Chains A and B, each alone.
Chain A
Amino acid sequence: MKIIVCLKQVPDTNEVRINQETGTLIRDGVPSIINPDDKNALEEALRIKAAHDCTVTVISMGPPQAKDALKEALAMGADEAILLSDRAFGGSDTWATATVLAAAIEKIGSYDIILCGRQAIDGDTAQVGPEIAEFLNIPQVTYAKKIDFKDGKAIVTRYTETGDYVIESKMPVLLTAIKELNVPRYPTVKGILNAYAPGSDNISVWGIDDLTIDATQIGLKGSPTNVYKSFVPTKSKTNEMIDGLNGKEKAAKLIGKLSDLKLI
């Protein structure tokens, strides 16, 4: 079996600060990480690899520094890593990103499972996985929390708000992982030494000329959606602190106010 995992390198959103005046992100000093859901996708691929005879290829679209995310994936146990990096890919929305990733997956070929994270913490769109699946014309199961195989089919438990669905899918299939799927491992010392060995050139880099791709469908110009504006959300609230000698007095004042407003 061959598994391809799609990873995104993202800024750690817990550390992201916003410039309140310009409404832009302050990226300086913000650490980059493998997107958390994508790490669950990689972990699942490695678990499948441990139980079945298969190889795990990780791919990522991003700037040259996204190699760091791929190196971490190799240290965790992936067999092969490919960075899709080209100025022509810059500014891609989900359509354009999925177009590039699908082209790379087609070039790799003869895959059985594509694993993606459900969504990335910077954009929260959850769209790239399903769009790749459509472009490859293969089935998908999103929000996967349990994955098994039986008689050449994938048996996937997928989360919904009202209960889980068990879905039986033909292969190849694209699956998107949620954090309930597993707990990602840490890289082993041996894995780290191999992945980060000085001079080791273990990551292939593919640009637009390496892929069979329609240039009108990628990058900023090829993206059907564009950012029109961005801004920092503002709130306007009464913001009254209720004072009093003790909690009891404050509680009485609060309930009085809510009652006056006919809220309770």
Chain B
Amino acid sequence: MRRKVNQAINLSDYKDIWVIGEQREGKIHPVTTELIGEAKKLAEGTANQVMAVVAGHKIEEEVEKLLYYGVDKVYYINSPLLETFSTDGYSKAIAELILEKKPEIVLVGATSIGRDIGPRLAAKIGTGLVADCTKLEIDPSDGKLLQTRPAFGGNLMATIICPKNRPQMATVRPGVMKKAVHEANAVGIVETVSPTLKAEDIAARVVEMIQSGKKRVNLTDAKIIVSGGRGIKGPEGFDLIKALADKLGGEVGSSRACVDCGWIDHMHQVGQTGTTVRPVVYIACGISGAIQHLAGMSDSDYIIAINTDPEAPIFKVCDYGIVGDLKEVIPAMMEEVDKLNVFEL
């Protein structure tokens, strides 16, 4: 049956904030704890509980780990048909539970999987969905969810609401929200649910998984990121970037220009079409500061920019800027760091 929006529903029938937990090959995806952190923030001072939903099979232990992040309940949708990911299976099973339990808010990670499932869920349920949110707030006057997201490559921010339909659903950009704190003791319970799924409901199924094989770069969790842009002048420029990143115990990031030139793999890309990062220190080397790049790193606590062009837009958003040649500045920075370390001994 095809559902519709704008039906006469009683908004007060809907309560609690749900997080759609993402698991890949049986491991909980880090965006899940970010969503829990955000859901707890939204639930503060309200009667709403925070609940997570995880669909899968034989992942009881992994599901229980979520209880240490302060969720009131985890719905574990368990079925052999959910052992591997399928849009059909996951969206049917999760939509069924949402329709039955009527949460007020549902948050989904805006990963490539979450953005596949999210709209399918919203369309099955009959509600709106706001994509790739970077900020969520509750309007204190009426409790509605204010969902803020970038548009036009981050040039404009829009706050979107879903006033007449429930649940209020959003996909949330990974790397933006603060992770829930891991507590020493588990609270809450796991409730195992069996979906009414049948094998024939799954029309598209995964037949093979190809791991990328390369060392995974963890930009999202990095405290320090040293990024290179067009100003490093070639693939060998990343040797210098990597040397500084290694010295500081950080990861290597890149602007889109370098990825498009084939100087470095896409998994290093920071920005609108790459990864959004919020490290403590972000060092932009030879990056001019295109809006698409700024959209992915401007929430960093401290931004350092090094560029030969004093007019580069990156200097307008940085905390500390150096106009200079990377080949001179970076080795000098590494020497200074070495001096610090000696001093500490």
Contacts of B131 in A (CB 8 A): 94, 123-127
B188 at the A interface (CB under 8 A):
no
20 A-B Cβ contacts within 8 A? A18-B152, A95-B5, A124-B153, A134-B123, A140-B120, A142-B87, A158-B112, A159-B112, A165-B85, A166-B206, A173-B204, A216-B4, A217-B6, A225-B130, A233-B157, A237-B303, A237-B317, A238-B319, A241-B315, A251-B335
Contacts of B321 in A (CB 8 A): 239-242
A247 at the B interface (CB under 8 A):
yes
Interface string of A126-149 (1 = CB under 8 A from B): 111111011101111111000000
Given A225-B161, A227-B158, A247–B325 Cβ distance below 8 Å? yes
Contacts of B317 in A (CB 8 A): 235, 237
A264 at the B interface (CB under 8 A):
yes
Given A131-B123, A170-B203, A229–B159 Cβ distance below 8 Å? yes
> Out of A173, A217, A230, A254, which one reaches B157, CB within 8 Å?
A230
Contacts of B49 in A (CB 8 A): none
The interface stretch among A54-62, A69-77, A197-205, A255-263 is: A255-263
Given A126-B115, A254-B333, A230–B127 Cβ distance below 8 Å? no
Beyond A18-B156, A228-B159, A247-B322, 4 additional pairs, beta carbon < 8 A: A13-B155, A241-B323, A248-B328, A255-B340
A224 at the B interface (CB under 8 A):
yes
Select from chain A the residue with minimum beta-carbon distance to B87: A140
B222 at the A interface (CB under 8 A):
no
Contacts of A98 in B (CB 8 A): 123
Given A25-B152, A164-B209, A257-B320, A247–B204 Cβ distance below 8 Å? no
Given A123-B151, A163-B211, A233-B154, A254–B320 Cβ distance below 8 Å? yes
Q: From residue 158 to 213 of chain A, which have CB atoms closer than 8 A to chain B?
A: 158-170, 173
B2 engages A135 (CB within 8 Å) = yes
Number of contacting residues on A, CB 8 A?
83
Given A140-B116, A162-B216, A165-B209, A240–B320 Cβ distance below 8 Å? yes
B211 engages A162 (CB within 8 Å) = yes
Contacts of A133 in B (CB 8 A): 120
A33 at the B interface (CB under 8 A):
no
B59 at the A interface (CB under 8 A):
no
B261 at the A interface (CB under 8 A):
no
Determine the distance from Cα of A155 to Cα of B206 in the docked complex, in whole angstroms: 10
Contacts of A169 in B (CB 8 A): 203-205
Determine how close the nearest CB of chain A comes to the CB of B144; give it in whole angstroms.
9
Given A94-B129, A224-B127, A225-B130, A23–B156 Cβ distance below 8 Å? yes
A168 engages B204 (CB within 8 Å) = yes
> Out of B91, B165, B322, which one reaches A251, CB within 8 Å?
B322
Select from chain A the residue with minimum beta-carbon distance to B129: A127
Determine the distance from Cα of A148 to Cα of B2 in the docked complex, in whole angstroms: 30
Chain A residues touching B, majority SS: mixed
Contacts of B271 in A (CB 8 A): none
Contacts of A225 in B (CB 8 A): 128-130, 160-162
> Out of A134, A143, A163, A235, which one reaches B212, CB within 8 Å?
A163
The 9 closest A-B pairs by CB, nearest first: A224-B128, A247-B328, A251-B332, A169-B204, A134-B123, A225-B128, A255-B336, A125-B131, A139-B203
B337 at the A interface (CB under 8 A):
yes
A122 engages B322 (CB within 8 Å) = no
Among A121, A161, A222, A241, max chain B CB count under 10 A is at A161
Q: From residue 1 to 44 of chain A, which have CB atoms closer than 8 A to chain B?
A: 13, 16, 18, 23, 25
B199 at the A interface (CB under 8 A):
no
B162 engages A224 (CB within 8 Å) = yes
A139 engages B119 (CB within 8 Å) = no
Residues of A within 8 A of B (CB): 13, 16, 18, 23, 25, 93-95, 98, 121-131, 133-135, 137-143, 155, 157-170, 173, 214, 216-217, 222-233, 235, 237-242, 246-248, 250-252, 254-259, 261, 263-264
B233 at the A interface (CB under 8 A):
no
Select from chain B the residue with minimum beta-carbon distance to A125: B131
Given A127-B118, A231-B157, A264-B337, A140–B204 Cβ distance below 8 Å? yes
Contacts of B127 in A (CB 8 A): 224
> Out of B112, B150, B152, B302, which one reaches A160, CB within 8 Å?
B112
B203 engages A255 (CB within 8 Å) = no
Contacts of B303 in A (CB 8 A): 237
Contacts of B154 in A (CB 8 A): 233
Contacts of A95 in B (CB 8 A): 5, 122-123, 128-129
Determine how close the nearest CB of chain B comes to the CB of A236; give it in whole angstroms.
10
Contacts of B128 in A (CB 8 A): 93, 95, 223-225
Select from chain A the residue with minimum beta-carbon distance to B174: A161
A130 engages B207 (CB within 8 Å) = no
B311 at the A interface (CB under 8 A):
no
B329 engages A250 (CB within 8 Å) = yes
B304 at the A interface (CB under 8 A):
yes
Determine how close the nearest CB of chain A comes to the CB of B226; give it in whole angstroms.
11
B41 at the A interface (CB under 8 A):
no
Determine how close the nearest CB of chain B comes to the CB of A64; give it in whole angstroms.
23
Among A18, A131, A214, A216, max chain B CB count under 10 A is at A131
Select from chain B the residue with minimum beta-carbon distance to A262: B280
B153 engages A13 (CB within 8 Å) = yes
